[in-house]
Amino acid sequence: MWFFARDPVRDFPFELIPEPPEGGLPGPWALHRGRKKATGSPVSIFVYDVKPGAEEQTQVAKAAFKRFKTLRHPNILAYIDGLETEKCLHVVTEAVTPLGIYLKARVEAGGLKELEISWGLHQIKALSFLVNDCSLIHNNVCMAAVFVDRAGEWKLGGLDYMYSAQGNGGGPPRKGIPELEQYDPPELADSSGRVVREKWSADMWRLGCLIWEVFNGPLPRAAALRNPGKIPKTLVPHYCELVGANPKVRPNPARFLQNCRAPGGFMSNRFVETNLFLEEIQIKEPAEKQKFFQELSKSLDAFPEDFCRHKVLPQLLTAFEFGNAGAVVLTPLFKVGKFLSAEEYQQKIIPVVVKMFSSTDRAMRIRLLQQMEQFIQYLDEPTVNTQIFPHVVHGFLDTNPAIREQTVKSMLLLAPKLNEANLNVELMKHFARLQAKDEQGPIRCNTTVCLGKIGSYLSASTRHRVLTSAFSRATRDPFAPSRVAGVLGFAATHNLYSMNDCAQKILPVLCGLTVDPEKSVRDQAFKAIRSFLSKLESVSEDPTQLEEVEKDVHAASSPGMGGAAASWAGWAVTGVSSLTSKLIRSHPTTAPTETNIPQRPTPEVPAPAPTPVPATPTTSGHWETQEEDKDTAEDSSTADRWDDEDWGSLEQEAESVLAQQDDWSTGGQVSRASQVSNSDHKSSKSPESDWSSWEAEGSWEQGWQEPSSQEPPPDGTRLASEYNWGGPESSDKGDPFATLSARPSTQPRPDSWGEDNWEGLETDSRQVKAELARKKREERRREMEAKRAERKVAKGPMKLGARKLD
C-alpha cells in the first residue's frame, strides 16, 4: 500500500523559498529563507540532508536539533518548528540573517554604528545563561554562529558542538572543520592537562575573536589578535582580558558585561539602557514608564531604523493598549511612524490614532491636534468624517483656550477631507460662534485666518453666503489683529467674489477701515482698496475680462482655487497661537477679554449720530512671534497683479498695534489720552497685564453694539454739510478726518453671518431675542400711555354736581 504513504516534507506547514542558501555556513547546516504556508510570514529554515557515510555529521545535526527545541532564551535563536526524517532535518526559526552578511551589507550602506555593536555584543550574554545557569559550553562562538533578526538583535546559534561542563556526556565533540577550529584557544593544544582553566575560558577566548572580526574583518590567523586594530579604546582593556594567554584570568561572561557597562565603558550608553528597559518594561512602575517614554523621543533620531520599527514600535503600541501610558506615547509613536511604509502605517498606527481621538484625556487630545500634520496624509475621507471629525469638533466648545485654538488650526488639515455636510454646515456653525463670541482675541483672529485658507474648499453657495459676511465681521472686531486678518482675508480670496460684490459689499467695508484708529489696519486697508479698484478698473476698461476674472466665483470647490489663500496667513496661525499659549501660562484660571477698540476715531464735534467709544489700552509690549513675510499669489494672467502687492505680516502688524497705540488724528489722540488716563492704563504695561485691564474697560458684546436710532445733535452743533471742505478755511482746520463720525447710518454695510439665509449659525441668540422683546414691550407701553392721555384731554375735566343742577 505504498501509494497511501504521505510525504512529510510536502505536509510540513513551512516551505522553502526557491533561492540559493544564504551564505556558506561552515558546518552541517544550510540556511534557507522560507515562509509559513498559512500566513506567508517569513521564517528561516536550517536544512541538513542526510548523506551516506556521514554518520558523525548526522549525529552532530541531530544533537543541534535537540538543543534548539529544549533551549529557550531571548538571545538564543528562537525555535518555531522542526521536521526529522530519514532523509533530512529541518529546523524552522525566526527570520534571521548571518552576522557576516549583515555587517557587509551595513558597511556598503554607510557603516555600522558603535551603538549597534555595543548592544549586539551585550546580547552575547546568552553565554552567561549557558555557562552559569545551564552548565553548558557553547564550544562554537564565532561569526558563523551569530545571526541578526529584522530588529537588529543579535542571536546566538550554532549549537552543533555544545557539551556539558560537568562532563556527563564526555568531552567536546570533534569539529573536523578548519574554519571553526581556528577559533579554539591555544590551551586546547596542550594535551598534558596541566593548564588550569575555568569552564568558560574557551568560550571567552572565542568571544574575543568575534570582537576582533566585528571591527577588523575576517581573522587571518591567531597571531593577529595581538593588534586590536579598529577596536574602540573603551573596549580594548576588556578585549585584552578575553584573549589573554592565561585562561585562568579570563572573566566570566557576566563579569565581562558588568565591566563593559561601568561608567565610561563601551556598553554604557543610551541605546543599551533603552533596550534593557524595554526588556523589563512589563515589571516597571507606571511612573518609570512615563519618564521613559518622555525621554525616548529625544533619542530615537540616533537609534537604528530597524530597531525603531520592530522593537520600539510594538512596545509603544502595547503600552497604549494595555499599559495606560496615555498621551506620553504619542510623540515617540509618530517619530517611529516616519520609518513605516504607507501600508504599514495604515495597519499599525491609524487604528491607534482613531481610538485616541475618542479619548476624553485633554492632554492626549491636544497632542493629537498638535501633531496631526504627521499622520493626516494616511487618513482616508470616510475615516475622517465618521470617526475623527465628530470627536474633534468637541474641541470648539472646550473651556480650555489652548484646545479651542488647536482645534481651529487642525481644520486646515481636515478641511480637504471633509464631506459637504461637515464642511459647509457643521464647521461653519462652529466658526461663526467662535468669531462672534469667543473671549480670546487670538482665537477669533485664527478663525478668520483659517476660514480664508479653507475658503476654496467650500461650495459656491456657502462661499457667497459666508466669506463676505465673515470677513466684514472681522473688520469690526475690537482685537486689532483680527481686523487686519479680515482685510487680508478679503485680499487672499479676491478671486471668489463677483465684481458686484467687490464694488457694493467689500469696498464699502474697506473704505470704512481707512479711518481705523490703528495705522496697521489702515495700511492694509489702503493696499486692499487699491488692488480691488485696479481689478474693477481693468474690467471696466476691457469688459471681455469679466468672464476670466469671475471664473472661480461659481466654480465648484477646488484646492487649486486657494493658491493665494494657501500662503497668505500660514504665519498668522503660528504667530497668534504663541500669544494664546503665553496668555494661558500667565492667566491659567481666568479667561481674559479685550477692550472695545474703537472702530473709528472719536470726533471732536459730534456727528448727527454720535456713538460712545470706550478707551483704548496703551501698551509698549511686543508680540513674541516669528516673523515671516509671505505675499499673496495668484495666476500671472490676472490683470490686477495681486502678486505685486506686499500684504505684510500679521505678526508684524500685531506687534506694531500693541507697541504703538498713537492715534493718527489730533482729536483721537486727545480723546483716547483722557480715557486712558482715567482708566490708569500706562504704556509701560506688558501685553499680558493688559488683558485684565481690557476686561475692566469693556466687554466683547459692547464693542459690537450699533446705535439703535438717530438722536438729534445738541444745540450749537454744526453739521458736516455746513463745513467748507474745499474752501481756503480748510487748511486752518487741521485734518478733516478728525471730525468724522464712526460710520454714517446710511452707509451700506454687508450683513453679518446671521443674515442672508444663514440664521442657523449664531445670530438668533437669546440676548438678541430678549432685547427685541424688551423694545417691543417698551413701545407698547408708550403707545398705551399716549392713548390714555389723549382720552383724558378729549373728555376734559369733570364738573361735580352738574347733573343735579339740570
Tens of pLDDT, residue by residue over 466-486, are 999 999 999 999 999 999 999
Q: How big is the chain by its Cα radius of gyration, in Å?
A: 41
Residue 574 · residue 625 · CB < 8 Å = yes
Name 148's bridge partners: 97, 154
Query: Between 179 and 419, whose confidence is greater?
Result: 419
| Average pLDDT value for residue range 193-206 | 82
Residue 361 · residue 367 · CB < 8 Å = no
Q: What is the pLDDT of residue 797?
A: 55
Percent of the chain with pLDDT over 90: 36
What region, left, alpha or beta, does residue 643 occupy, with left being phi > 0 and alpha being psi -120 to 50 degrees? alpha
Residue 697 · residue 592 · CB < 8 Å = no
* pLDDT tops 80 at residue 619: no
Residue 521 · residue 546 · CB < 8 Å = no
* pLDDT tops 90 at residue 260: yes
- d(CA 701, CA 284) in angstroms, rounded, equals 54
Residue in 227, 10, 230, 4 with CA at minimum distance from that of residue 112: 230
| Average pLDDT value for residue range 574-579 | 42
Q: What is the pLDDT of residue 513?
A: 93
Q: What is the pLDDT of residue 766?
A: 60
Note the pLDDT tens digit of each residue in 32-49: 999 999 999 999 999 998
* pLDDT tops 60 at residue 799: no
97 pLDDT tier (thresholds 50, 70, 90): very high
- d(CA 730, CA 138) in angstroms, rounded, equals 107
As a whole number, the mean pLDDT across the chain is 75
Using the 8-state DSSP alphabet, how is residue 132 labeled? I
In whole angstroms, what separates CA 651 from the centre of its chain?
Answer: 22
Q: What is the pLDDT of residue 557?
A: 61
434 sits in which H/E element: helix 427-437
For 6-59, give the DSSP string: --HHHHSSEEE-SS--SS--SSS-EEEEEEETTT--EEEEEEEE--TT-HHHHH
- d(CA 570, CA 283) in angstroms, rounded, equals 46
Residue 366 · residue 406 · CB < 8 Å = yes
Note the pLDDT tens digit of each residue in 367-415: 889 889 888 998 889 999 999 999 999 999 999 999 999 999 999 999 9
What are the Cα distances from residue 621, in Å, to 485, 656, 680? Answer: 20, 9, 17
Q: What is the pLDDT of residue 804?
A: 45
Query: Between 616 and 350, whose confidence is greater?
Result: 350
Residue 502 · residue 536 · CB < 8 Å = yes
Neighbours of 645 (CB within 10 A): 16
Note the pLDDT tens digit of each residue in 267-325: 999 999 999 998 888 888 888 888 898 889 888 888 988 899 999 998 888 888 776 66
| Range with lowest mean pLDDT among 438-452, 702-716, 756-770 | 702-716
